[in-house]
Structure 1
Amino acid sequence: MQLGTTRLLFAFVPKNQIRHGSVAFLYKQMVTLLFGLIVVEKGLIRYPVRDFKKVYKGSFSFEYFIYPSICAIFNLHYPENSSKLVKLLYNSFYSGILTLGEVLIKRYTKLIEYKKWKWYWSFLTIGITNYSSRLF
């Protein structure tokens, strides 16, 4: 999964926009640290298989690499001069793809367990944090 994400970064981040992508990447890491810890500590989601079991209860790979990488691509290709509807659809597309991936991982693997969580909370939080990264 991480190798595929690395390939996406090389394919969709132009060399002249690496700085802009890095800012979006680092911002998303900061946001996911906060929200990821809250969601896990409140018992809303559980990750039975983790990278650093004794240190971090969240999904390190997703929250610190995959999700921030997708956010960098989201920001670099954002339709800045388009209508509000196009911007909303763009954000919804990225939120939907990430949510769909999470739902499929939840359904077909044992990597994610929803305790008091629903897929639409993921969709909303991803959409809001993508929007906040644009504001930043």
Structure 2
Amino acid sequence: MKNKLEKRIELSSWIIMSFLLIVLVPRSKIREAQLSFLFKQVITWIFGLLVVEKNLISYPSRLFFKKANKSSFTFEYFVYPALCSFFNLYYPEKRNPFYKFCYYFVFSGIITGFELIACKYTKLINYKNWTWYWSLITMWITYYISRIYYRWFFKDKLKAPVV
């Protein structure tokens, strides 16, 4: 069986992220999580396809849609959007700017770290004309865009006084 490790990693990420979504998204915040998830899918669809089609990154081993799409369905359309849901739900709105900067850095850095490990030890991702810092920067930017959209969409709810 080819790419056994890669298949285990992809299946595990589906199971773990599904479990985390069920456990960490409160019932009262499902709508907010869903908006973040779907909006991030739109962003990653555009950027993910652009990066793959420009031959900057390749995904040699993929579990889903191998012939339909060259990008990683698991990462681009499920794991990363799910993490964006957590990012927006638990964003430290009332904290100082340095804390917010660290929040962005932690979310972007953890994903970049896992991507580097996957690039080095598996066939899940292959950097062709790409480096880790481009991943960190693009993830940071997409988190920022999603945060702007989230704040715009829920502006009335965010301004409402806490009772």
TM-score range normalised by the length of the shorter chain: over 0.9
Shift of 1:11: 2.0
Deviations 1:54-111 (A, max 9, x none): 1100000111100000000010000001111111100100001111111111111011
Shift >4 Å, 4+ stretches: none
Q: Which residue of 2 aligns with 1:112?
A: 125
- Percent of matched pairs sharing the same residue: 49
Corresponding residue to 1:135 among 148, 151, 158: 148
Identify the residue that residue 11 of structure 1 maps to in structure 2. Answer: 23
Q: Tell me the equivalent position of 1:22.
A: 34
Alignment of 1:1-136 (within 5 A): 1-50=13-62, 51-136=64-149
The Cα shift of 1:8 comes to 1.2
Structure 1 residue 52: deviation in Å? Answer: 1.1
Instruction: Name the TM-score, length of structure 2 as normaliser.
Output: 0.82
Deviation larger for 67-76 or 47-56: 47-56
Aligned partner of residue 21 in structure 1, secondary structure: helix
TM (normalized to structure 1)?
0.98
Distance in 2 separating the partners of 1:73 and 1:2 = 16
How many residue pairs get aligned? The number is 136
Q: State the one-letter code of the partner of 1:107.
A: K
